Chains A and B, each alone.
Chain A
Amino acid sequence: MTYSSSVAASKQGYARKGQNAVSFVAATRTLGPISNTIILIVLACLIGLLYLTQVTKTNSYGYTINSLQQQQSELQDQKANLEVTSARLQSLERVASSEVAKGLVSVAPSGSLSQ
C-alpha cells in the first residue's frame, strides 16, 4: 500500500466533520423585540418631527396671515381716510366758499312756469 492510498483509505474510514449536524433555515425572517422597539421609537420620532414641521409651517402661515391682515387693515384705514378727505372736499361749506361759488351771481326768479 502506497502512502497515498493509505491516506485515501484512512480518509474513507472516518466520518466527515459535521456530517450529522442538522441545519434549520426559517422560511420567514422576523425582527426581534429590540429591533421592534428601536423601529417604533424611530417612527415615533419621525411622526413627532413631522408634527413639529407641520406646526411650525402652520404657525409661519399664521404670521403671514397676520401680516396680510395688517396690510388689509392699513388699506382699509387708507380707504376710510380718503373717503373722509373726499367728503370734506365736497362739503357744502367748502363749495360755498370756493372761488367758483364766489363768482356766481344771484338771480331772482323772473316768473314761474305754468302747465
Chain B
Amino acid sequence: MRLSLSSPGAEAAAPKSNRRLSVWYGLLILILAIFIARLFYLQIVRHDYYRAQALADQQKEYTIPAARGTIAAKSGSGSVALVLNEKLYTLYADPAFIKNATEAAAKVAAVTNADKAEYAKAMKTKNSRYVVLARRLGEDQKKQISDLKLPGVGTQAQQYRTYPQGSLAAQVLGFVNNDGQGTYGVEQALDKTLMGTPGRLKAITDAQGVPLAASRDNIQVDPKPGKDLVLSLDLGMQRQLETILKQGLEASRSDSGGALIMEADSGAIRAMANLPTYDPAEYFNVSDAQRFNNATVSSPLEVGSVMKTLTISAALDLGVVKADTTYADPNHWKLDDHEITNIEEIGGPGTRSMTDILNRSINTGAVWLLMQMGGKTGEVTQTARERWHDYMVNHYRLGKATGIEQGYEAEGSIPDPKSGYALQLTYANTAFGQAMTATPLQLAAALAAILNGGTYYRPTLIDSIIDSSGKAEPKKPEALRTSVVKPSVGSELKAIMEYSVAHHTFKKPFPANFSVGGKTGTAQIANPAGGYYDNRYNGIYLGFVGGDRVQYVIAVRVNEPKVGKYAGSGAAQPLFGELAQMLINDFNVTPRSGG
C-alpha cells in the first residue's frame, strides 16, 4: 500500500499554484523581452543617432591657433625684432549681469584710465549681451580687472602684432588685419609662410570644457607655428634713410617721396622707405589707404631722364655706339608731327658725346641713340623700337613685377613697339623716360644688373627664414637673367655716371677713394585729360656707391617738390648725396684698391 502524505485539497491547489508561477514567470520574461527590445532599438537601431546626440553635448572641437612668425631686421651680425606677437585683452561687459553699472564702471575705468561715464552708459546697453569696453589691455590690467570679480565684466585674450621699433619700415612690413590676414608689405606677400598651420583638438570634455584624456575619439593635431623672417634691411641704415628722406622732403617742400638702397651684387634691399608713413600698430586709425602702399614698389611713374642710363647701356651693348662716340646733335627731332627738344641750358645744336648725353641730360641725344638701334638717324624705325623694347622688357625686366616680397607690386608699363598711336614719338619718349612707367625698384634692379657685370638678381627683402626648430635657411641671391649687358658696358656706364656726379654740385664732396655715380631725372606728370601738366614734376635720382665694384645702388623719388622746374637735381639729387655720404661714413663701403 502506497502511503500518500498529501491531502485531496492540496492536490487541487498545486496546479493552481503552478499556473500562477507560470504567469508571473511569463510576465517577467515579457518585461525582460520588452526591455531587451527597447534596448536593442535604442542601442543598435538608433545607435548612430544617439551617439551623435551624446557627442554633440560632450565632444568639443577647438582650433588651436598657430603663432604667427616674427619679423626682424639685420643689425650687425645679429638681428633686431621689428614685429613680434603680444597677447593683449579685450575688456567686455554683459549688461544682463551687471546690477550697479555706475559702481562697476568706476572700478573698471580706474584700471583702464578711461571715462567711467562712458563705461556706465555702455554697461546699461539694452538688448545686448556683449559690449566692448576697451581693447589691447596688458597682462597687468587684465589681472586687476579679474581681481575686481565683477559679475558681467570679463576679458578675452587675443594675439596682436606689436612693433618695438614703432613705424620704422612700416610700409615694407605691412600689417595683420582683424581677420588675421597679412595686408600690404611682407605680411601680405609671405602671409602663408608667417601664418603657419593651425592645430586641432577634438575631444570629449567635462562640463567645464576640459578635455578628458580617456577617449578613443580624441583627435589632437598640434599647430605648426609660422616661420620667422629676418629681413635684409639693415636696422641702422633703414633708420638713417628714413631720417634723411624726411629732412629731404621737408627741404624740397614735397608731400611725399621714397628711397631705397640695394646691394648691387645680390639684389638684397638694405633700406627702403616712403613718406608719409603710418604706425602699423594703429593701422585702423589711418584714413588714407595710400599710406599703406610701399610706393617704391607699388606706384610706378614716368621715370624721366634716369632712363638715359639704360638707353646708353642698350646702345653700347648692341654695339651701335662706343663710349667715346661723338655725334652731331640737332637739339630737336620732329617725329609724328611732334617736336622733341631739350632744356634751354643745352644751348642748341652741337657735337655731343655719350658722357654729355648723361651729364647734360640731352633728350635728343637719347633719341639719337634709339635711332642708332634701328640704323637710321632721323627716324625711330620698327627695328629700333623692337630692339629697344627687347632691352626694356627682357634685359632690364621693365613692365614685369620683380617678385619682391611685397604686396601689391606694380608692373609698370612699356608701350607695344608694333602697334599704337604715334609710335615713333612714343618710343622716342621712352628713351628719356616718358610715355612708359616703372617703379624705382625696377630701375634700381636694372641699373644694378648693368653695373654688376650683367646679372639681374631678383630684388629681395629676405635675408633668411627660420623654422620653428630654429633652423635658419638663408635666402640665396636669385639670378633671373645673366648677360643683361656685357661686363664692359657696366664699366663704361659706371665711368659715365661717375663723371656726371663729379660735374654736379653736392652739399659735401665725396671722398676721392670711393666711386659715386648717378643720374637725375625730372619727369613731367601725365594729365589724365591728355598730355602733361606744364608745372608739375616728379624728381628722381638713380645712382650708386662703391669702390672698384659698385656696392650699393640708390634710387630716390620726390613727388612734386616745390623747387622749380628741375625736380631731379633740385630735390632728389641732394637726398642721394646724403644717402651716399651715409653709406660711405657708416656702412663699410669698400674703397677703391688704388685709393
Which residues from chain A sit less than 8 Å from chain B, CB to CB?
A: 54-55, 58-59, 61-63, 65-66, 77, 80-81, 83-84, 87-88, 90-93, 109, 112-115
Contact = CB atoms under 8 A, between A and B. Distances in A.
Interface of B: 80-81, 84-87, 139, 162, 164-166, 168, 210-214, 235-236, 239, 511, 513-514, 584-585, 591, 593, 595
Nearest to A63: B210
A87 B164 CA distance: 6
B211 A83 contact: no
A55 B206 CA distance: 13
Contacts of A66: 210-211
B86 A114 contact: no
A83 B139 contact: no
Contacts of B84: 80, 83-84, 87
Contacts of B595: 114-115
Contacts of B514: 112
A87 B86 contact: no
Contact of A62 (B85, B162, B213): B213
Nearest to A92: B239
19 contacts: A58-B213, A61-B213, A62-B211, A62-B213, A65-B213, A66-B211, A80-B84, A80-B85, A84-B84, A84-B164, A87-B80, A87-B165, A91-B164, A92-B235, A109-B585, A112-B513, A113-B591, A115-B513, A115-B593
B166 A80 contact: no
A83 B214 CA distance: 37
Contacts of B235: 92
A99 to B, nearest CB: 20
A93 B86 CA distance: 20
A77 B585 contact: no
A88 B164 CA distance: 5
Nearest to B584: A112
A68 to B, nearest CB: 12
A87 B81 contact: yes
B591 A93 contact: no
B205 to A, nearest CB: 10
Contact of A84 (B80, B162, B212): B162
* 10 shortest interchain CB distances as A-B pairs: A62-B213, A87-B164, A58-B214, A112-B511, A87-B81, A55-B214, A88-B164, A59-B212, A91-B164, A84-B86
A93 B165 contact: yes
